[in-house]
Amino acid sequence: MPEIRDLAEQLHFSPSEGRIWLTDRRMILVHAEAFSALRQELVESFGPDAARGILTRIGYVAGCRDAELAWKIRGSSDSLADVWIAGAQLHSLEGMLHTEIVRGDIDSKSGKCFVEFLWKNSVESEAQLQLYGLGSEPSCWMGVGYSSGFLSTCMGKRVLVREVECRSMGAAQCRAIAKPANEWDNPEDDLKYFEPRQPDKSRPAPASSPKSRSQEPIAQKNAPDKNAPGANDIVGASASFNAILHKILRVAPTNATILLLGESGVGKSRFARETHKHSKRAQNPFIEVNCAAIPEQLIESELFGVERGAFSGATEARAGRFEIADGGTLFLDEIATLSPTAQGKLLRVLQTGDQERLGSTKTLRINVRVIAATNENLQKAVKEGRFREDLFYRLNVFPILIPPLRERKDDLPVLLEYCIDKFSKYHDRNITGVTSRALQAILSYSWPGNIRELENVIERGLILADDGSPLDIFHLFSVDGSFESQEIMGLSDMGSLVSKSLQNSWNGTPSPQIDTLNNWAEDLVRQGKATLSQVEDALVRAAVAEADGNISRAAQLLQVTRHQMDYRVKKLSSKADGSESNNA
């Protein structure tokens, strides 16, 4: 097991500035008594279930941050074990508890993950015992969140940690087990704490004295409900994602108009559907309209309907989207592209609930909840005269800004797992996991196209990868080549933190990691001891031997396609046959 020194050396104190740094991340020191008081305040104010969720999510974010640090310091392609062991060491370094790994088997390529560890001197179990005495539920909520976040980032998929023994339950020590979420029985019992839920208004007020709860369980075993992560159409785990869900769960039961803001591809449509699902209108229609996809001449008839003969080609009366969505929700995407006339009619519907079809004088009363979305700056559009100011204020009742994917990278592991599962089923493929270097590339890329680009890259990679094999970095590419040109941080042979181009790691361009190989090649050429063909043949033979004759695996080792590897093996065999014939 690697020593903790390389991690401890990243911790710096600057009393003159009032800052503590762990590499480039600011840290804080908190009294254990203060943390205990905060935990008690959360439990007493919001109930044990809500308190557990808050602390679990805080721990998850901390685990994701430390996983990024571990990748930087120990993230060479062949040392994944060193990376996840760093999680246990960082957890100990930060003073929450001391982790001892009992056994572990983790491999992102095959998707295998099983880790059993002991937690000693847990500040959470100590606080629980001091405040409430022995209970019937484990209490290391932040520890569970931290370990789940760290391992999920390392694996590129949702890993769930369960505390199976706890000192607050009377055990000699705390013991936890980590496995992929889909390998646990009833994972929703724990996953519900990783995202916010609607407040339980029926929960009785907490007792005034902490000791009156001493024999009560810390968390109730609720049956899976519609707020469980597995029941949602959207996935995420970052603090930003949870903040959005908090807002959605608050506004969904009301009739307020919602304005979703954010770059193209961040998932505004899915968040709109999530809002409808949690609203009182959930059993009524959800109608989605992309305003930019409808010609300007037809947008009014599409939204508000048309009577027969209203214009040339209107051979029959037709209801508009507002009428179809009556009683439900109408989602207007790309709202900034509406014509001035359509904007005026939309304003009237929002103000009064009244509308007329084109060519009709009959006023229709409409009961529709409007959710609008745009990737434009509407305030700028108002100043430029392209968007009505009064309509902007009508739409801006409850704005929700959805951050781009580059600002919520903690969502990437669960999004990656979701995409692989989704496209594996769609294309009938079997992808075992993701290599560590591919995972580093995915976590380091800025994703300018957001979730839509992520889905496209993963789908292409899944098509290129062989069945029964993991996604590797050479399966991932973007149309303009920008994905390969991103840089990640890695260790050089001398142990220094260096910038390493993703493209360099698989297309043959020299990088700091292969200086030794370059020197060897220079010596070989200078001495005239081998030709290019001989070196290539030697690499092919070595890869096939290392892979025990498995051509697909050998291709992965040399970072070429299976077709290319198969060609080289056949070419090598033909050379051997020709040599034997000449000798005969």
Nearest CA to 489 out of 506, 468, 510, 511 is that of 511
Rounded to an integer, what distance in angstroms lies between the CA atom of residue 48 and that of residue 244?
23
Residue 223 pLDDT = 35
| pLDDT exceeds 80 at position 198 | no
DSSP H helical ranges for 47-159: 48-74, 80-93, 123-132, 141-155
| pLDDT exceeds 60 at position 211 | no
Strand 469-471 and strand 431-434: the pairing is parallel
Q: Which residue has the higher pLDDT, 214 or 527?
A: 527
Rounded to an integer, what distance in angstroms lies between the CA atom of residue 550 and that of residue 469?
11
| pLDDT exceeds 80 at position 100 | yes
Residues in the chain: 584
pTM across the whole model: 0.70
Rounded to an integer, what distance in angstroms lies between the CA atom of residue 14 and that of residue 569?
59
Tokens of 583: 């000798």
Question: What phi-psi label fits residue 561: left (phi over 0), alpha (psi between -120 and 50 degrees) or beta?
Answer: beta
Strand 369-374 and strand 258-261: the pairing is parallel
Rounded to an integer, what distance in angstroms lies between the CA atom of residue 373 and that of residue 283?
22
**pLDDT tens across 3-58, in order?**
788 788 888 888 888 888 888 788 998 999 999 999 999 999 989 999 999 999 99
Chain center to CA of 481: 23
Residue 578 pLDDT = 62
Instruction: Give, for 344, the enclosing helix (H) or strand (E).
Output: helix 340-352
557 Cβ neighbours under 8 A, 6+ residues apart: 543, 546, 547
Residue 506 pLDDT = 42
Chain center to CA of 539: 37
Rounded to an integer, what distance in angstroms lies between the CA atom of residue 480 and that of residue 500?
20
CB-neighbour burial class of residue 135 (10 A; exposed 0-12, middle 13-18, buried 19+)? buried
| pLDDT exceeds 60 at position 65 | yes
Rounded to an integer, what distance in angstroms lies between the CA atom of residue 63 and that of residue 410?
10
Amino acid at 376: E
Which band of pLDDT confidence, cut at 50, 70 and 90, is reported for residue 493?
A: very low
Q: Which residue has the higher pLDDT, 91 or 560?
A: 91
* 20-24, 205-209, 344-348, 454-458: least confidently modelled range: 205-209
| pLDDT exceeds 80 at position 471 | yes
Residue 497 pLDDT = 42
* DSSP notation for 211-243: GGGTTS-SS--PPP-TTSGGG-S----SHHHHH
| pLDDT exceeds 50 at position 212 | no
Domains of the chain as residue ranges with CATH: 5-197 (3.30.1380.20), 239-405 (3.40.50.300), 510-584 (1.10.10)
| pLDDT exceeds 70 at position 582 | no
| pLDDT exceeds 70 at position 546 | yes
Residue 202 pLDDT = 46
Q: Percentage of residues in the chain with pLDDT exceeding 90?
A: 42
First-to-last CA distance in the chain? 55
Can you tell me the mean pLDDT for 518-539?
A: 75
- CA count, 13 A, side-chain hemisphere, 197: 23
Rounded to an integer, what distance in angstroms lies between the CA atom of residue 92 and that of residue 86?
10
Q: How many CB atoms lie within 10 A of CB 247?
A: 17
- CA count, 13 A, side-chain hemisphere, 5: 2
DSSP-based three-state secondary structure for 498: strand
> Measured between alpha carbons, how far is residue 244 from residues 166, 372, 380, 401, 403 in Å?
33, 16, 24, 8, 9
- Residue where the block lists tokens 């990243």: 10
Question: Using an 8 Å Cβ cutoff, are 471 and 462 in contact?
Answer: yes
Residue 519 pLDDT = 64
Tokens of 342: 């359509």
* 84-98, 214-228, 230-244, 284-298: least confidently modelled range: 214-228
| pLDDT exceeds 90 at position 486 | no
Residue 60 pLDDT = 94
Nearest CA to 472 out of 450, 446, 498, 440 is that of 440
**pLDDT tens across 295-335, in order?**
877 887 888 888 776 666 666 777 888 899 999 999 999 99
Instruction: Give, for 432, the enclosing helix (H) or strand (E).
Output: strand 431-434
| Mean of the per-residue pLDDT values of the chain | 82
Q: How many CB atoms lie within 10 A of CB 570?
A: 10
* 227-236, 340-349, 379-388, 455-464: least confidently modelled range: 227-236
Residue 580 pLDDT = 52
For the sheet with 98-107, list strands across it: 98-107, 112-120, 174-180, 159-165
- Residue where the block lists tokens 């292969």: 514
**pLDDT tens across 225-275, in order?**
443 333 346 888 888 898 899 999 999 999 999 999 999 999 999 999 999
* DSSP notation for 287-300: EEEEGGGS-TTTHH
Residue 312 pLDDT = 63
DSSP-based three-state secondary structure for 237: coil
